[in-house]
Structure 1
Amino acid sequence: MTQQPFSRPGAIDLSALKRPAQSAPGAAAPGAPGATAGGAGGQATGAYTVEVDEQSFQSVLESSMTAPVVLVFYSPGRSPESADLARNVSTVAEEYDGRFLAGLVDIDASPQIAQAMQIQQVPLMYVLLDGRPVTQPIPSAPPIDELRAFFNQLGQQLTAQGIGGRHKPRTVEAPEGEEPVSDPRFAAADEALASGDVDTAVAEYEKLVAANPADTEAAAGLARAQLLKRTQGVDLNAARAAAAANPDDVEAQILVADLDLLGGHVEDAFARLVELVRRASGDERNAVREHLVALFAAVGNDDPRVLKGRQALANALF
C-alpha cells in the first residue's frame, strides 16, 4: 500500500447529520468510555476500537484532537472484504496502545455518516487528526501486514512532527462470569507495583504523562506512585513526633500529610497542608501549595473531598 503524506484539508461537514438522540439516563453512549466497542458485525472489539454511529460520530471526531483516528467505512452485506478491513484495522490499532483509535462505520446502519463524508463505495479508509482527514481516502482492503507497515509509517510521521498524544482506552465489558478487562495503559505500572518495584511504576507513569499530558488518569496514577515512593520505609510514629515538635517544619508536615493520605485520612492530610499554607510564606508556601495540589491529583479531582480541599486552599491563599 502506498504511503500517503499528511495534509490539512478542511474540516468534515457535519451538516448532513441529525442532532443525536439523548441517551437514557446512566446509559453510555456508543464509543464512550464504559460502552462496549464492537465492529464489523460485532467481531472486532478492543480498548482502542469504537463502532461509530450518528450519536457517537461527533465524539469520535473530537477524539482526533488527541491522537489520530483511523476511520473505516464498511458494509458487511455488500462487501465482505470491507468487513475484513474493519477487523484488521481494529487488530492493528490495538497493537499501538492508544497511538491510534479505530473508528468503524457500517454505512448500512449509519447512512447519514456516509452522506456527510460523501462515501460512494466501500471499503474506504481515512486517517483523521484535529477533526480533519490528513491522508487521501484509501479505497482498498490491503492485507494486514501492509496495514501494519502503513500504521508504522504514520507513527513515524507523527513522531517527526512532534505529535505524541494517545487515546484513552475504551472500557471493554467482560463476558458474564469473567473479570473486567484491565486498562492496558497501566499494565506495566501495575505489574511493577504488584512486585513492590515502586521506582519502575513511577517511571512507567511518567512515560504515559509525557506522551499525553492531558491524561488525567495517568497523572493520578503517577501522583499515587510518587506518594508510595516518598513514604517507603518511613517510621510513622517518628514522623508524627517530628511534626508535632516542629509545627512549621515544611518537610516534616508534608511527610505526615503523605502518611495520612496513604492511611486513608484524606481530609486530615488536606487540612494539615492548608493550615501550613496559611502560616508559611515565600518559597515554602509555594512548595506546600504545589504538594497539596499533587495530593489532590492522587485522590482524584472529582472526589468531593478534593473539591472541598481546593476551596479551603483558595481561602488560605486569598
Structure 2
Amino acid sequence: MSGVVDLGAVKAASEAKAKAEQARADASRQGGGAAAAPGSLVIDVDEAGFERDVLTRSTEVPVVIDFWAEWCQPCKQLGPLLERLAVEYNGRFVLAKVDVDANQMLMQQFAIQSIPAVFAVVAGQALPLFQGAAPEAQIRETLDQLIQVGEERFGLTGIVVDAEAQGEAGQMPAEVPAGPYDALLEAAAQALDANDFGGAVQAYKNVLADDPVNVEAKLGLAQAELLGRVQKMDPQQVRKDAAEKPDDLATQMAAADLDLVGGHVEDAFGRLVETVRRTFGDDRDAARLRLLELFEVIGPDDPRVAAARTALARVLF
C-alpha cells in the first residue's frame, strides 16, 4: 500500500463536501428523510457497485473498506470486529467488505499486497488505514480520527440509523478469543528482561501467529523489536547521519527509535510524522508503519499518541 490512491473519476473534495451539505439540507426540509436500516452499515461491495456503494456514499459518511478472502484466517478475526464496531458507531461510518478473489480489479487499483488490508474513502478520497489484524484499541483510535477528519474537513456527520431495528443488528457475533497464552507470554517477558530480544520477538510472534489481535503480544513485540534495533546502533553516528540526511528514511527511523528509547517521545513522533510528509510511495508507508509501531510501545491511551495521530492524519489527508 503506497499513499493516497488515485481514483481518477472522483470529484474534488470541495465539490463532494458541497454535495453532502446539500443532501443534509434536503433531508432536513423533508423532515429528516428516511432513516437507514442497520444492515446498510455493513455492505458487500463488488466492482460493478463500487462507484455507487463507496464513492458516492463517501460524500455522506466515511466508508471503511475491508479487503478480505475466505481462505484468510486473520481476515476471519478482523472482519467480525469491524462489523461489530460499525454497528456500535451507529452510522458514523459504513463498512464495505470486498472479497479480493472475486474483485481482482479493485485489489489492483488499491495496490493490495496482502490481506487483510483496510482503507477508508472520505469525500471520494482514499487512503490506507492499516494492514493485517490490529488491536481493538488501535482500530477504535483510527476510526475516531477518521470520523473527526471527516467532520472537520468535509462536513460529514454520518447517517441516521433506524433505532427500532438497531437491536437486531447489534446481535452480530463478537470475536471469539483464542488462548490462553499465559505461558508463552511469560516466556516472552522473561526473554525481554534478559535482553534476549530475538527470543522475545519469536515468542511474541508465536502468540500472534494464532491470535493476531492479542494486545499484550502486540505491545511486547513492538517493545522487543525496538530494543533489538537500538541495541545494534551507534547513537552518535545515528544522530550525525540524521542531521546530515533529513530525507533519508532509514536514518530518520533509526533516530526516532533512539528518541523514543531515550524518553523523547514527542521528538520521535514528530520526526516520523515529518518523514511521512516528506516521502512518497513505499517510503511513506514504511515511515507510517514504523510510527504505528512506536504508538504500540507507548500505548493508545497516552495523550502524546493521540496528538501524534492527529498530526499523522493531517499529513495523510
TM-score (norm. length: structure 1): 0.43
Larger helix proportion, structure 1 or 2?
2
Q: Which protein shows a greater Rg?
A: 1
TM-score (norm. length: structure 2): 0.43
Structure of higher RCO (CA pairs closer than 8 Å, 6+ residues apart)? 2
